[in-house]
């Protein structure tokens, strides 16, 4: 708040289907939320979101476009966006070249099997996205003593 920020950060929801609940917590304490979708989204679902005090922004015609998504966020005044989404959204941002920094937690465990999502999920990236290590922190006590690494990488823009 000392830096002019609201007590709760705004929320951005990225969804093509718009199939998600609208709990009151989305607007608690004056928080605002914006749903980014595409122009052919279900108009009834768009109206339901707007009726719940949400803003709907179209970032693509037939699918959500990562570059247009970043542009629309910038036009709304957002200068920094932290994404805690899953592998499809990470793929969307990486493929569009709008990912500046990647925060990654490496746990000392192996997971796998069907179904299992990796860090990225989607079509093969046309161009590999390169990163340079920015920070590395080892937490030896995490995961009941197994340890974990917290890493951040800066995207290398070529």
> Considering the domain boundaries, does residue 8 fall inside one?
yes
State the CATH number of the domain containing residue 31.
3.40.50
**58-67 burial: b if 16+ Cβ within 10 Å, else e:** bbbeeebbbe
Q: What is the pLDDT of residue 82?
A: 84
Residues 76 and 144 in one domain: no
Residues 1 and 74 in one domain: yes
Radius of gyration, CA atoms only, the chain: 18
Q: What is the pLDDT of residue 146?
A: 92
> Considering the domain boundaries, does residue 65 fall inside one?
yes
Q: What is the pLDDT of residue 36?
A: 95
Q: pLDDT band for position 1 (50/70/90)?
A: low
> Considering the domain boundaries, does residue 91 fall inside one?
no
Q: What is the pLDDT of residue 132?
A: 96
Q: What is the pLDDT of residue 53?
A: 76
> Considering the domain boundaries, does residue 88 fall inside one?
no
Spatial distance between the Cα atoms of 151 and 134, rounded to a whole number of angstroms:
7
Spatial distance between the Cα atoms of 147 and 76, rounded to a whole number of angstroms:
40
Write the pLDDT tens digit of every residue in 52-101.
877 999 999 999 999 999 999 999 988 888 888 888 999 999 999 999 99
Q: Which domain holds residue 33?
A: 1-81
Is pLDDT larger for residue 140 or for residue 79? 140
> Considering the domain boundaries, does residue 119 fall inside one?
yes
For residue 49, count CB atoms less than 10 angstroms from its CB and return exposed for 0-12, middle for 13-18, buried for 19 or more: buried
pLDDT above 70: percentage of residues in the chain: 97
Residues 75 and 34 in one domain: yes
Mean pLDDT of the chain: 88
Residues 73 and 147 in one domain: no
> Considering the domain boundaries, does residue 157 fall inside one?
yes
Last residue of a domain, one of 49, 81, 113: 81
Residues 70 and 109 in one domain: no
SS3 (DSSP) at 93? helix
Q: What is the pTM of this model?
A: 0.81
Q: What is the separation of C-alpha 134 from the centre of its chain, rounded to a whole number of angstroms?
A: 20
Spatial distance between the Cα atoms of 122 and 88, rounded to a whole number of angstroms:
6
Contacts of 157 (CB under 8 A, 6+ apart): 97
Q: How many domains does the chain have?
A: 2
Least confident of 3-7, 33-37, 62-66: 3-7
């Amino acid at each position: 708040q000392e830096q002019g920020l609201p007590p709760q950060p705004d929320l951005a929801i990225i969804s093509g289907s718009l199939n998600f609940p609208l709990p009151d917590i989305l607007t608690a304490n004056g928080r605002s939320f914006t749903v980014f979708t595409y122009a052919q989204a279900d108009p009834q679902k768009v109206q339901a979101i707007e009726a719940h005090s949400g803003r709907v922004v179209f970032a693509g015609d037939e699918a959500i476009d990562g570059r247009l998504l970043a542009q629309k966020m910038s036009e709304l005044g957002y200068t920094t966006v932290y994404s805690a989404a899953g592998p499809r959204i990470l793929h969307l941002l990486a493929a569009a070249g709008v990912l500046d920094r990647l925060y990654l937690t490496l746990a000392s465990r192996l997971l796998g099997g069907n179904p299992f999502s990796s860090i990225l999920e989607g079509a093969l990236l046309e161009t590999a996205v390169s990163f340079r290590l920015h920070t590395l922190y080892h937490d030896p006590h995490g995961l009941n003593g197994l340890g974990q690494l917290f890493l951040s990488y800066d995207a290398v823009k070529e």
